[in-house]
Amino acid sequence: MSPAIKKPSGVFITLEGGEGSGKTTQARRLCDWLTTQGRKVLHTREPGGTLLAERLRSLLLDHSVETIAPETEAWLILAARRQHVDHVIKPALQQGMIVVCDRFSDSTIAYQGYGRGLDLRVLRTMNNWATGRLVPHLTLLFDVPIRIGLTRRRSQRASQNRLDRETSRFHEKVRAGFRTLAQQEPRRMVVFDASLPLESVQQNVAEVIATWLNTRRIRQLRQR
């Protein structure tokens, strides 16, 4: 097999959860910790990660643009995802890096599917289409009561983005959607109690990642 088409050897980790659940904070801390362990890490986010995808992100989060239909929202997110996968995630995985991504396909199912009511099967097909069937090796789900998450967000920034302004009912549906996904795929998705203090969540994440990476290494050694 030529090096250009060899199987990606990197690790793809995604962080998921509702607004203010601590994804961005934990992603940063996880990347710093992995880097100190001598790992090559790429920290990225969705929607975003490329020039075009970041522009789409700005449009999606801007509450001053016209009303956005759920389908339009899905198309824009998935367009951004394709760019991100092609230009950033896949190349980094090919180089053997650990890619840590703040939100990915599960957010589409939780927000546009469970939250906005779009057909889950259609969204899964669209996700496959956008990612070329790239599935994270491991997904960390940060679960927090809506009230706590939104309060954290309000204290964080003066202006609220389009999603922060959604109703509590919408956020409840998204939270329940994420939890359903975690029940369906318990091997890939690990749920963290994100209402705990920041340092406790960070420690729980580090423990899970350390064990997971070790198990993966042993499995790979056995396969040689």
Ligand X SMILES: Nc1ncnc2c1ncn2[C@@H]1O[C@H](COP(=O)(O)OP(=O)(O)O)[C@@H](O)[C@H]1O
Q: Does 201 bind ligand X (CB under 6 A)?
A: yes
Which CB, 17 or 113, lies closer to ligand X?
Answer: 17
Q: What angle do CA 32, 7, 131 make, to 5 degrees?
A: 75
- Smallest distance, Å, CB 102 to Mg ion? 6
Site for ligand X in 54-93 (CB under 6 A): none
Record the tokens describing residue 101, joined without a space.
């991504």
Which residue among 35, 58, 128, 156 contacts ligand X (CB under 6 A)?
A: 156
Q: Amino acid identity of 46?
A: E
Binding residues for ligand X, how many (CB under 6 A)?
16
- Relative orientation angle of helices 51-61 and 70-84, to the nearest 10 degrees: 160
141 beta partners: 16, 191
CA dist., res. 72 & res. 43, Å (int): 27
Closest residue to Mg ion: CB criterion: 24
Write the DSSP symbol of residue 164.
Answer: T
Site for Mg ion in 8-37 (CB under 5 A): 24
Site for ligand X in 20-59 (CB under 6 A): 20-25
19 binds, among Mg ion, ligand X, none (CB under 5 to 8 A by kind): ligand X
- Report whether 30 contacts 158 (CB < 8 A): no
The piece of 82-90, 126-134, 152-160, 203-211 that touches ligand X (CB under 6 A) is 152-160
- Report whether 201 contacts 149 (CB < 8 A): no
- Smallest distance, Å, CB 125 to ligand X? 27
Record the tokens describing residue 21, joined without a space.
């659940």
Taking alpha carbons only, the member of 40, 128, 42, 41 closest to residue 81 is 128
Q: Does 152 bind ligand X (CB under 6 A)?
A: yes
Which CB, 21 or 127, lies closer to Mg ion?
Answer: 21
Which residue among 197, 219, 223, 224 contacts ligand X (CB under 6 A)?
A: 197
> Using CB under 6 A as the criterion, which residues of the chain lie in contact with ligand X when the complex forms?
17, 19-25, 152-153, 156, 194, 196-198, 201
